[in-house]
Structure formats: C-alpha cells, structure tokens
Amino acid sequence: MQTVFEQLREKVILHLQTIYADIDLTKDYGTLADEILATMRLNSSNVGHITPHTNLWTEEDIVLITYGDSVIETTDDVVDSSNNPPLATLKVFLDKYCAKAINHVHILPFFPYSSDDGFSVIDYSTVNQGLGSWEHVQQITENFGLMADLVINHCSSRSAWFQQFINDQAPGNKYFYTASPDDDTSMVVRPRTSPLLRETETADGTKHVWCTFSHDQVDFDFRNPDVLIAFAEIIRLYLDKGTRIFRLDAIAFLWKKKNSPCINLEETHEAVRLFRTLIENVDPNAIIITETNIPNRQNLTYFGNANEAHGIYNFSLPPLLVNTLLTGDCTYLKSWMMSMPPAQNGTFYFNFIASHDGIGLRPAEGLLADEEIDSLVNCVQSFGGKVSWRSTEDGKQKPYEMNIALIDALQGTIEGPDQWQIERFICAHAIMFGLEGVPGLYIHSLLGTTNDYDKVVNTGQNRSINRHRWSYDKLVEELDDVHSLHHQVLTKLTQLLHIRRAQPAFHPNATQFTLQLGRKLFGYWRQSLNRQQSIFCVSNICNEVIEVNLSDINLIGTDEWIDLISQQHIVMEQGTIHLEPYQTVWISNMFDRD
C-alpha cells in the first residue's frame, strides 16, 4: 500500500504529464516531481491527508483590498518612509478602523516593481523598500489573514531574469516566451491594444518576446519546467511569510500555444491544479483564488471539479450591479443570478464591486446587450470616468473596462446626478455583502474615496483614478468629522459588516434563491447550512418609494421576523413594508443561535 507521500508524488507526476504532454523534456516526470516536492520542502514526514470539499471559510470572512501605500504618513507633504514605512501605517489604520469588521487583508503587490502599480515585479523575494519589509508584512498577519498576489504570467523587463535573457545567461535566457513576427497570432485574446511582441536585442541575436499586457511585462515560458520550479520556490517563501490566500494574477494567459487563443488552455487549468496540490499539502488551510477577467462561463471553469481554485473572482457582479443601480432595473442582474450555479462545498465566489482595476466589461459580454453596455459606458463617462479599450480579432476597438471611483460611478442614474449618492452606494454594498460567497471590499470603497484626477495626469494611466493615496493625518481628520462623506460611508459599511458577520445564513456556501419581485426590487433568500436561519434580502434599486407585499416575499407567518439592519420587527398583519429609495432590508427569522 502506498504511503500518503507516495500518493502525493504520483499525483504531482500526473499533473506534470498533462501539462507537458506535448513538450520534449530533458528529464523524466519522476525526477521533475522530486525536484518540485523538494523545493516545496514536502516529504514523507510532513504530508498528511487532505479532506476534499472542505469549507475553509465562514460568514465572518471579509477581505479588504488595498495597496501597501494607500495610507501613508507624510511630513510637509513628503512621504516619510524612513521612520513610518507605509506598511506600518497601514497596520495602524487596519487595527484602528477595521479590526471589528474585517479579518483578511489583500495587500496588492508589495514587491519591487517597474510599472503597473506593482504588477510588473522586479524581485519576487523581497518587499519594496519604499513600503517596508517582510517584518512589517508579518506584523499585519498577527491580526489579519494575508492575501498576496502571485504575479505568475509575467515579470518586469528590469528583473534580473530578463537581464539574463538579454545577456544569454542562465537561467533567465530560457525563462521567457518568444515568437516570430511571421507567426499567425490573429487568434490570440488580449486585454490590451499594444503590440503583442517586443523586439529585443540579446547576446543570442534579435528576439521577439511575448507581452500579453505591456512591453515592460514580459511573459514567462512555462514550457520550461525550470520556470515552474522557480515559482514553486516563490510559493513556498510566501507560505513561510504567512500568506493564507494566494491570488493567481492573470492566470488565464499562463500557457501559450501556436494557432490558439492562448487563454484558458488545458495546460493552464492543469497548472492551477498542480499549484493547488502543492499549496494545500504545505498548509491545508491555504486558499487559491483565480483572477480571470473573462466572460462568465469561462470564469466558472476555474473551479474545476473542486480541484482547481477554491475561489473565483465574481467578475460579472460589478458591471451588472452598477448597471442595475444606474438604470433602476434589475432584470439583467436577476437573470444572471438565476443562472449562476451554487458553489459546491470546498469552493466559493469572491464577490466585489470595486478594486484597484476598473469595472471590467468583458465579464458582462453575453449578459448585457451591446446597447446596454454602450449606455452604461456613456453614463460613467458623464460622471467623470475613463474608459480603457481592447482590440477584437477583427481589429475593432471595444470597451474593456470603466475606470472610476465607485462612489462617483453611483452619484446618479442614467438621467444624471441626484441626491441619492450615498444611499445608492450603500445599497450596492448591502446587496454584495449578503450574496453567496466571500466579500472583497476595496479600501477606497470603505472610505468613500472619490476620483483622483491629479493622479491620472501624473501617471498617464486611467486606472490611477481609483488609486488615491491618503495622508493618514488627513484621513483621520475626515473620519473624525461626522459630517464628512468619508465618515458616513465608513460608519455605514462597518455597521453592515458587523451585522453580516454574525449571521449563519450569510455563510459563503449557504443556500441562495433569487426572488421575483419585479424590476425595481432586487431580492434573494439565504438559508443557513443547518437550516435554522433564513434571511430575505430585499433592496429598492430605484429612486422611488416602493411598497413591498410581504406575501410576495413568502415569510412564514408562524415565525417572528426582524430587519437586521434597522432592528425593526416585521408585523405580518400589516401586509406590506415600504422601502425608501435604495433602502435594503435583511429580514431574518428569530431563531435559537445556540
């Protein structure tokens, strides 16, 4: 009978056989598996059984998304990173304002980088000195679970590996994917309009390096198993430093193959399965989330059979939810919700509305009509937003994402700005917080940060509009002012999170059922895993007062019901409740929490 470690080794070999089926390797699969397992420091003494379909999360799990320098100490408007590095300031902010509402923090790439606000990594093993050190990162992990990016598709053209490529020196000289300008790349799917190939002079002659995103972000060649081993070493380092959640950045583009779209290939999916196998055998509580900004059906495939990603970004939610609140019509959102399969145990949806990137429109393809997308884009532009574009296979330009701070995107409707901005913004989050899955909350949504036009001018990048950098003193001043927009938003959102985290029916895998309440009311029902608690989540998504018939919600008359948000008891005999514009109710039965 095989030992657990022998079973693991055999499983790794099977992963490798699938990944490299079409590649002539210089070493056999067993030798390669042994090198990878040794790199991960996995052996017969530290490998145990992994229980499949295990939920490693509860209703208490909330992730805050932030850059390491989203909040900084300043001295006379100059960043003071010597005595108060940004990661230390971030810890102060988290401990003071987030400890009771959030238990995980996604620190966006905190490594040395050359562009793309961290996603063009120069060195994967060290912390950007301008942010702090590994010690500062680990101090944050004392109170919060750490979510970190594994920027695995590409690295910086200024990295040591790419300099080795230019100098034709090992190991970097074989780390990057190259192609010929004469190759037919018409099928390649990309999120950018820049030329795909970067002409680079090397000691071995002129090379054309594959660049999915930008010419400063050079794509790795995973056909070389040494690249895989290098990333196994990086993964092990991140685990050693306390990473609990791995965000696999741009993972859909990992594997390239001639005469293919070079996205979502089977080799990529198998690589995710391999990373899952390695990571969970080092830490059974570690989690993988795939970042795949692609159409909804393709995105769902990264669950595999509960053997790929634990979680997938719910990329269709932001454009559909924003569209719902701007139009006052939840038809598209409701149709999508009804089509979404429940995440089986051991998997979850990672829900978000805003992030460091824009509001992606590819995940809305096939869900919103083209004219609906055009109307949405025009409305967001009228509210001061920017639009980033992509090229289609026939060379046409299509909107790829909308760049705008969420609070500004919700300042009005398609009819124009109005007085319901804060209510509409809170409504969006109340809807998201209650949905099946784990919520991810962007720091600039938590703080109600508005468009940063100066940063767009300074960087020349549309995405900078929603990447403001707060001075800690200025932020505290705003948050202490009860009349400020930022105080109101922080207070209301943290109150909602406190309520959410105490409800078993909001477990990420609890039952969810979409309610049919017409176009202007969006609702769904959640039921706890033990079936003791039911919550009916109903939101008025328009700027009119709406009367809700309790019979339409189908509350059980023998139970007592309460709106968890307002703490108002629901009197069944009244027959109706009225919802103010953009008001949400979480109607829960009274049950024995023991």
Catalytic machinery residues: 249
- Say how far apart CA 240 and CA 148 lie, in whole Å: 12
Residue positions counted in the chain: 594
DSSP conformational letter for 183: S
- Say how far apart CA 90 and CA 49 lie, in whole Å: 37
> Position 514: which residue type?
T
**Given the DSSP bridges, would you call strands 104-107 and 145-151 parallel, antiparallel or unpaired?**
parallel
| Long-range pairs for 236-240: beta carbons < 8 A, 24 or more residues apart | 236/39, 236/40, 236/41, 236/282, 237/124, 237/125, 238/148, 238/150, 239/279, 239/282, 239/283, 239/286
* Cβ proximity of 279 and 288 under 8 Å: yes
- Say how far apart CA 514 and CA 502 lie, in whole Å: 22
* DSSP H helix total and E strand total for the chain: 18, 29
- Say how far apart CA 20 and CA 22 lie, in whole Å: 5
- Say how far apart CA 286 and CA 296 lie, in whole Å: 25
10 Å CB burial of residue 195 (0-12, 13-18, 19+) is exposed
- Say how far apart CA 104 and CA 98 lie, in whole Å: 10
* CA nearest neighbour of 92 among 79, 106, 111, 73: 73
Query: Between the CA atoms of 232, 237, 241 and 242, what dihedral angle is there, to the nearest 10 degrees?
Result: 10
Please write down the HEC assignment for all residues of 203-271.
CCEEEEEECCCECCEEEECCCCHHHHHHHHHHHHHHHHCCEEEEEEECHHHCCCCCCCCCCCCHHHHHH
Radius of gyration (C-alpha) of the chain in whole angstroms: 24
